[in-house]
Chain A
């Protein structure tokens, strides 16, 4: 018998005598609270990320404020804002990405309750490596992309897309539980909340 058939037979055997009547699962936790953009800003700041709010037509100015002078910033296809010193992602290798200073992207969802940004790596967000290797991630979240909580985020997101949930800069507490920013991912996260 193949391992597959063996395991499935084992599962069947294990449950032969079990009472398999369904357990009721209440979904009352999926309430309909409105999204609170102020809370989102506060919660992102709690992770020691830099957060600025601006009007939609100020995004480009805020992006250039966020980037150090002469920084080379990689940008994904489909980013609706102009970025100074931008490097297009024309199939850069991981080593190439290690050489750029920053990355500028949009996002798919912001979660107010947890201060989380979710990327689904479509146009304007780029493939996953883009927002991973450079040391500074500048991320623009539109106010109308902010949802109240985790269940609302899952309702919006498409499981067929890869997603990356970012809550503050990379961190570890592995050494005597001291929080240290930036082990492997971007050490600095700069969030621009627009609109």
Chain B
């Protein structure tokens, strides 16, 4: 279980490797296309969708702009409901808190429900160092974990694996982790799911400590919410005696009633369902029902940094639905691994630099360029995050942060090339607009369409030709990313 994103090559290099993997590209195209179509259908059913998006963005903005007040209220409510509240400045502090709770109960294993926040802080690796096994219980995460692999999509983390590979992983790795896979396991999805059910049930029934994230935290009532499909979340939240939930400080909504917007937007945007199979809400400890010791870890880990960014702050509205991934032409071609983070795709391209800061590492600095600024992500986003604008702003910040480099390293040189082209934030904006115009002109000749309705451009004339040789390129202008790619030869 040693796979981590640390030391990943910068986006262009990783993306080049991923592009060569035809299995990955085929799986991703199938997945994103399927989810896109489902989403479009259930969104079209809702006649006030835009009103819901506006309300969601407004509620989140109001909360973020008065975050201190809401955090203090959340802490009070949770405490009143019998939960123990912890605060963690960074990943290390959060991991220590979870490990200490586990150790105080003398356990060497915990069951986990998939959570972006615990992935972000690399909790499983930290617990492993303390001799505590963290069992992932979501089917996809189980596949990823048993395969000693990395998740590639927020929603379907194992989308890069096909059924034959999953069967292989189960047959060769389940036994070492607990109940083995049956010898006659086939690659039928129902059989594979059944093997996972039996393997994990054994763990659920004996687990003393459960670990989760939360999709929402209600300040007024101290209610936490987990939205899921399989029921493994319910298992983790209900059966253990002790529950630890790691919650980013941006997950707050002020009141219980405010959830009525988000529980309409999230399932439709995420899995393309009217409602996901299971949603659990709980407020601290309920006597006689579920865990009688409940901990909540409120996590910063860069969120206050993002909050300080006037343009980027809106990224903290994100409800992790992954709709922006499924409409992104760059993501569809490179997959999630190329982003080197648990947050891939358009949201990852802004959230990672916002949380970590620019000018620190080349991988993070390359992310704002992993986009064609086509705007599809904004259209799809249920909380109306203007991802293209944040990308443009972050590119300017990356350029600024490298202006003073005296002894350029390879990646700094690449940044310099970009800096030369886009000397200032203002000119960068102008360049984006101009390239958008070129893209629209080129787009006029496109003949085919992608499943999402975007036009395809068969071949780019001139310098772009090499890039489009092997693959279809969507018409919306990919200039910035492509230009960056061409210029650096992928040696970012």
For residues 112 through 162 of chain A, which have their beta carbon under 8 Å from a beta carbon of chain B? 113-116, 121, 127-129, 132-133, 149-151, 153-155, 157, 159-162
- Please tell me which one of the listed residues B67, B235, B283 contacts residue A159 in the complex, with CB atoms under 8 A apart: B283
User: With a CB–CB cut-off of 8 A, which chain B residues contact A173?
Assistant: 156, 229, 271
Are the C-beta atoms of A114 and B230 separated by less than 8 Å?
no
Are the C-beta atoms of B274 and A29 separated by less than 8 Å?
no
- Please tell me which one of the listed residues A3, A25, A113, A154 contacts residue B93 in the complex, with CB atoms under 8 A apart: A3
A183 to B221, CA, bound (A): 31
Stretch at the interface among A15-23, A51-59, A61-69, A80-88: A15-23
A38 on interface, CB distance cutoff 8 Å? no
Are the C-beta atoms of B280 and A164 separated by less than 8 Å?
yes
A170 to B57, CA, bound (A): 30
B34 on interface, CB distance cutoff 8 Å? yes
Are the C-beta atoms of A14 and B308 separated by less than 8 Å?
yes
User: With a CB–CB cut-off of 8 A, which chain A residues contact B221?
Assistant: 159-160
User: With a CB–CB cut-off of 8 A, which chain B residues contact A29?
Assistant: 48, 51-52, 55, 261, 264
Most chain A beta carbons < 10 A, residue from B281, B283, B300: B281
A22 to B254, CA, bound (A): 13
Are the C-beta atoms of A177 and B260 separated by less than 8 Å?
no
Are the C-beta atoms of B275 and A167 separated by less than 8 Å?
yes
For residues 19 through 65 of chain A, which have their beta carbon under 8 Å from a beta carbon of chain B? 19-20, 22-30, 43, 46-47
User: With a CB–CB cut-off of 8 A, which chain A residues contact B300?
Assistant: 7, 10
> A159-188 vs B: 1/0 string, CB under 8 Å?
111111111111111111110101111100
B296 on interface, CB distance cutoff 8 Å? no
Stretch at the interface among B8-16, B125-133, B190-198: B190-198
Given A28-B48, A29-B51, A150-B260, A13 and B304 touching (CB < 8 A)? yes
Given A163-B281, A173-B156, A184-B201, A14 and B234 touching (CB < 8 A)? no
A170 to B480, CA, bound (A): 43
- Please tell me which one of the listed residues A47, A162, A180 contacts residue B289 in the complex, with CB atoms under 8 A apart: A162
- Please tell me which one of the listed residues A133, A159, A174 contacts residue B140 in the complex, with CB atoms under 8 A apart: A174
A116 to B273, CA, bound (A): 12
- Please tell me which one of the listed residues A28, A95, A154, A160 contacts residue B51 in the complex, with CB atoms under 8 A apart: A28
Most chain A beta carbons < 10 A, residue from B35, B193, B237: B193
A94 on interface, CB distance cutoff 8 Å? yes
Are the C-beta atoms of B234 and A185 separated by less than 8 Å?
yes
A155 to B81, CA, bound (A): 21
User: With a CB–CB cut-off of 8 A, which chain A residues contact B88?
Assistant: 3
Given A121-B289, A168-B277, A176 and B163 touching (CB < 8 A)? yes
User: With a CB–CB cut-off of 8 A, which chain B residues contact A26?
Assistant: 51, 54-55, 58
B467 on interface, CB distance cutoff 8 Å? no
Are the C-beta atoms of B87 and A182 separated by less than 8 Å?
no
B218 on interface, CB distance cutoff 8 Å? yes
B189 on interface, CB distance cutoff 8 Å? yes
Are the C-beta atoms of B62 and A22 separated by less than 8 Å?
yes
- Please tell me which one of the listed residues A19, A115, A159, A164 contacts residue B279 in the complex, with CB atoms under 8 A apart: A164
For residues 86 through 123 of chain A, which have their beta carbon under 8 Å from a beta carbon of chain B? 94-95, 98, 111, 113-116, 121
A4 to B299, CA, bound (A): 10
User: With a CB–CB cut-off of 8 A, which chain B residues contact A165?
Assistant: 263, 275, 278-281
A79 on interface, CB distance cutoff 8 Å? no
B307 on interface, CB distance cutoff 8 Å? yes
Are the C-beta atoms of A167 and B290 separated by less than 8 Å?
no
A70 on interface, CB distance cutoff 8 Å? no
Given A20-B66, A94-B239, A168-B277, A154 and B139 touching (CB < 8 A)? no
- Please tell me which one of the listed residues A24, A127, A184 contacts residue B200 in the complex, with CB atoms under 8 A apart: A184
Are the C-beta atoms of B283 and A162 separated by less than 8 Å?
yes
Are the C-beta atoms of B220 and A18 separated by less than 8 Å?
no
Are the C-beta atoms of B229 and A172 separated by less than 8 Å?
yes
- Please tell me which one of the listed residues A149, A171, A184 contacts residue B137 in the complex, with CB atoms under 8 A apart: A184
A161 to B139, CA, bound (A): 29
> B46-65 vs A: 1/0 string, CB under 8 Å?
00100110110111011001
Are the C-beta atoms of B280 and A162 separated by less than 8 Å?
yes
A13 to B218, CA, bound (A): 23
User: With a CB–CB cut-off of 8 A, which chain A residues contact B4?
Assistant: none
Are the C-beta atoms of B275 and A23 separated by less than 8 Å?
no
- Please tell me which one of the listed residues B237, B273, B289, B304 contacts residue A10 in the complex, with CB atoms under 8 A apart: B304
A8 on interface, CB distance cutoff 8 Å? yes
Are the C-beta atoms of A174 and B139 separated by less than 8 Å?
yes
Given A15-B67, A184-B230, A150 and B264 touching (CB < 8 A)? yes
Q: Nearest CB to that of A12 among chain B residues?
A: B68
B286 on interface, CB distance cutoff 8 Å? yes
Are the C-beta atoms of B166 and A98 separated by less than 8 Å?
no
A114 to chain B, nearest CB (A): 4
A163 to B286, CA, bound (A): 11
| Residues of B near any A CB (own CB < 8 A) | 27, 30-31, 34-35, 48, 51-52, 54-55, 57-59, 61-62, 65-68, 71-72, 75, 81, 86-89, 93, 137-140, 143, 156, 158-159, 162-163, 166, 189-190, 192-193, 196-197, 200-201, 204-205, 218, 220-221, 223, 229-232, 234-235, 237-239, 249, 256-257, 259-261, 263-264, 267, 271, 273-283, 286, 288-290, 298, 300, 304-305, 307-308, 310, 313
- A sample of 6 inter-chain contacts (CB < 8 A) reads A4-B75, A6-B89, A29-B48, A151-B260, A165-B275, A184-B201
In the A-B complex, the 7 residue pairs with the smallest Cβ-Cβ separation, listed nearest first, are: A185-B231, A184-B231, A10-B304, A14-B308, A159-B221, A165-B279, A127-B289
Interface contacts beyond A165-B281, A170-B277: sample of 7 additional A-B pairs, CB < 8 Å, sorted by A: A3-B87, A6-B89, A15-B65, A128-B280, A129-B239, A162-B280, A163-B281
